[in-house]
């Protein structure tokens, strides 16, 4: 079992650009949550996807959007990147959103 | 609304000494509580969780935590620190809403173990 896998591991983008991050959940999991972890901070909840729909959303602007595919994998899209979007983006998967959440190793996004 | 406060952004202990990492939570409903560990350049690994039942929770790697409702605390302890315990530790709270739950994390405590 490969666990939760995220790609890419590192990414450098320019202000104003758009970025797409990808996540494959742990086998048997159907729910994917995304978190943003700024340097020196705890992770902050962005949103959660279940049955291909956004089920819950944290306090993030509409520039942050996502998608879940029929195979439960997920994408996080960020438009009009700001310097403040630089962070480690973590994906977590669970079953039904109520079981233990397993985290991937994250994607380190740097906006210059 | 819920929140988590971790007291001490950095804790240093000697190898073999007691590890105590403090966590206080605020929640308007009965909480689910978690401790996660993060090693450099890695994701988060669950150490232990409290949902219902016994208030003393045992986790992996010899860690345990006690849920104290009267003190709104969920402190993490380990009797004897090992060098491999050096990492960042995050306390998190969740409540069940809309059939699922989202985690609210504290800012983390970096644990250093001195040989």
pLDDT tens, position by position, B53-85: 888 999 999 999 999 989 999 999 999 999 999
**What mean pLDDT is predicted for residues A51-72?**
94
**What mean pLDDT is predicted for residues A70-85?**
97
**What mean pLDDT is predicted for residues A11-29?**
97
Tell me how crowded residue A11 is: count the other CB atoms within 10 A of its CB: 15
Distances (CA, A) of A89 to A59, A103, A107, B30: 15, 10, 5, 28
- Band of residue B100 on the pLDDT scale cut at 50, 70, 90: low
A-chain CB neighbours of B49 within 8 Å are 100
Instruction: Decide which of A52 and B97 is more confident.
Output: A52
User: Quick check: A14 and A111 in contact, CB under 8 A?
Assistant: yes
Query: By three-state DSSP, how is residue B6 classified?
Result: strand
Tell me how crowded residue A98 is: count the other CB atoms within 10 A of its CB: 15
The pLDDT mean for chain A works out to 94
Q: What percent of chain A has pLDDT over 70?
A: 99
- Band of residue B51 on the pLDDT scale cut at 50, 70, 90: confident
B-chain CB neighbours of A105 within 8 Å are 41-43
> A18-22, B51-55, B99-103: which has the minimum mean pLDDT?
B99-103
Q: Is B101's pLDDT higher than 90?
A: no
- Which residue's structure tokens are 């729910």? A31
User: Quick check: B34 and B46 in contact, CB under 8 A?
Assistant: yes
- Band of residue A86 on the pLDDT scale cut at 50, 70, 90: very high
- What are the phi and psi torsion angles at B84 (to 5°)? -70, -10
Bond prior to B51 in cis (omega within 30° of 0): no
State which residue of chain B sits closest to A104, comparing Cα positions: B43
**What mean pLDDT is predicted for residues A15-40?**
96
Distance CA B106, CA B16 (A): 26
Cβ contact, residue pair B101, A98, below 8 Å: yes
Gap from A45 CA to chain B (nearest CA, Å):
7
Task: Report pLDDT for B53.
Answer: 82
Task: Report pLDDT for B97.
Answer: 63
- Band of residue A71 on the pLDDT scale cut at 50, 70, 90: very high
Cβ contact, residue pair B98, A56, below 8 Å: yes
User: Quick check: A38 and B107 in contact, CB under 8 A?
Assistant: no
B5, B8, B10, B9: which is closest to B112 by C-alpha?
B10
């Amino acid at each position: 079992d490969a666990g939760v896998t995220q790609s890419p591991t590192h990414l450098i983008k320019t202000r104003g650009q758009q970025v797409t991050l990808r996540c494959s959940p742990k086998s048997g999991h159907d729910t994917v949550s995304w978190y943003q972890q700024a340097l020196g901070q705890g992770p902050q909840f962005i949103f959660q996807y279940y049955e291909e729909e956004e089920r819950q959303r944290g306090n993030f602007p509409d520039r942050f959007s996502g998608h879940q595919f029929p195979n439960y994998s997920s994408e996080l899209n960020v438009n009009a990147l700001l310097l403040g979007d630089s962070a480690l983006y973590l994906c977590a998967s669970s079953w039904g959103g109520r079981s233990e959440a397993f985290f991937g190793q994250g994607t380190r996004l740097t906006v210059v | 609304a819920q929140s988590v406060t971790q007291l001490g952004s950095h804790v240093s202990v000697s190898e073999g000494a007691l590890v105590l990492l403090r966590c206080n939570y605020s929640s308007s409903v009965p909480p689910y509580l978690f401790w996660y560990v993060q090693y450099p350049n890695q994701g988060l690994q669950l150490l232990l969780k409290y949902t219902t039942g016994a208030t003393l929770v045992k986790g992996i790697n010899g860690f345990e935590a006690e849920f104290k409702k009267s003190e709104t605390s969920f402190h993490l302890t380990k009797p004897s620190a090992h060098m491999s315990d050096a990492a960042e530790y995050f306390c998190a709270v969740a409540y069940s809403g809309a059939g699922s739950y989202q985690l609210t994390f504290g800012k983390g405590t970096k644990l250093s173990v001195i040989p």
